[in-house]
Amino acid sequence: MTVRTRADLASLPSYVPGKSIPGAIKLASNEVSAGPLPSVVKAISEAAASINRYPDSGAVELTGRLADKLGVPADHLAIGCGSVTLCQQLVQATCADGEEVLFAWRSFEAYPIVTHVAGARQIRVPLNSEHTHDLDAMLAAITPNTRMVFVCNPNNPTGTALRTEEIEAFIAKVPRDVLVVLDEAYKEFVDDAHVPDGVELAKQQWAAGHNNVAVLRTFSKAYGLAGLRIGYAVAPPVVADVLRKVYVPFSVNALAQVAAMASLDAEDELMVRCRAIVAERGRVRGELLAMGFEVPETQANFVWLPLGERTAAFNEHCLAHKIVVRAFVGEGARVTIGEPDENDAFLAAARAFTS
């Protein structure tokens, strides 16, 4: 006799992280190639001497810093072990067994996993022909059992982004008892003025009586702290409170909290780096378009190549050229914008692809 585990987990696909191959250029995980800034590394090093102590489980100092930065009361914030963990906490906090979480597909790979693990039912709504959210179809898919809707903006893996008026019109039609979660992992790379700052949009919605909007952000991408796992939710107090109730104590470690605060201190410097990535993004997309690839307009730190059945061949071709991209076989490839020399190596490989 063996230990009994949940039978429904047997069919659950595992999250597939971007590959790391020694000697290859990794453009598979949307990381910032340059890493954290020296001042952040210094703060982490100094804090390492105190790791014999438990971290502040409430992340009080970081919460205060973020509250000041974002212009929201501290009770509107919940800190988590990366925004992906906050995704799971949100499902746990809003859904009873069998209730529904709705999201576009393809979108962030973790949505179906965290939904299933929490015992909720996933509802996937296909992207439209422009590789972005079909908001009308998403509205039509909402049922009395729907408890939450994820809107990844910019969307991962396509990089496409919804505009302010689109999101506002969508929220206006969503039932008030359904939580709309704007997942903004790539917010710092947005340069289109028509793409909203989700926190500012949420504050306006709250003021208008729409207390069913929350925003997720992370320090993993633009801030270069993917290895430390820290993110945060900005939400109405009732949502932030239940997020803290399902939080695993001490899961946001002390070094992550220190690094996040040091990153906020260095934010101006970090944003200069983000603008450089945005410029490289435009260059890479432009060259790919000139080669004949379809590449949707992107507001993230990656580009999407909807290659369909050619995806597997493209992936193998890139691996042969020591370039690791993120392939979704049968659909497309997501390619992170790296340093200029890394991007040049990828473009050379793409230029040589003939399948």
Average pLDDT over residues 48-53: 96
Q: Which of 13-27, 103-117, 297-311 has the lowest mean pLDDT?
A: 13-27
Percentage of the chain beyond pLDDT 90 is: 91
Give the integer Cα–Cα distance in Å for 307 and 355. 10
For residue 85, pLDDT beyond 70? yes
Confidence of residue 68 (pLDDT cuts 50, 70, 90): very high
pLDDT value at residue 3: 75
Distance CA 99, CA 47 (A): 43
Which pLDDT value is given to residue 102?
98
pLDDT at 20 over 80: no
Q: Provide the 10 A C-beta neighbour count for residue 207.
A: 9
Determine which helix (DSSP H) or strand (DSSP E) holds 80, and give its type and residue range: strand 77-80
Domain 38-265: which CATH class? alpha beta
Q: What is the mean pLDDT of residues 101-113?
A: 97
**Of the candidates 198, 221, 189, the residue with the CA atom closest to the CA atom of residue 297:** 189
Read off the pLDDT of residues 226-281 as tens digits, 9 standing for 90 and up: 999 999 999 999 999 999 999 999 999 999 999 999 999 999 999 999 999 999 99
Phi then psi for residue 122, to 5 deg, are -90, 140
Q: Is the pLDDT of residue 1 over 60?
A: yes
The CATH code of domain 7-36+268-351 reads 3.90.1150.10
What pLDDT was estimated at residue 284?
98
- 333-350 mean pLDDT: 98
With a cut of 70, say whether residue 5 has pLDDT above it.
no
Distance CA 316, CA 320 (A): 6
pLDDT, residue 242, reads: 96
Q: Tokens 């972005």 map to which residue? A: 132
Instruction: For residues 110-136, give the mean pLDDT.
Output: 97
Report the pLDDT value the prediction gives residue 8, as an integer from 0 to 100.
73
Please check the confidence at residue 14 and state whether its pLDDT lies above 90.
no
Model confidence at 354, pLDDT cuts 50, 70, 90, reads confident
Instruction: Report residue 21's pLDDT band, with 50, 70 and 90 as the boundaries.
Output: confident
pLDDT greater than 60 at residue 165: yes
Indicate whether 19 pLDDT > 70.
Answer: no
End-to-end CA distance of the chain: 51
Residue-wise pLDDT tens digits, 315-327: 999 999 999 999 9
Q: Is the peptide bond before 157 cis (omega within 30 degrees of 0)?
A: yes
Q: Are 27 and 335 in contact (CB under 8 A)?
A: yes
Domain range annotation of the chain: 7-36+268-351, 38-265
What's the mean pLDDT in 201-229? Answer: 97
Mean of the per-residue pLDDT values for the chain?
Answer: 95
| Torsion 97-103-106-110 (CA) sign | negative
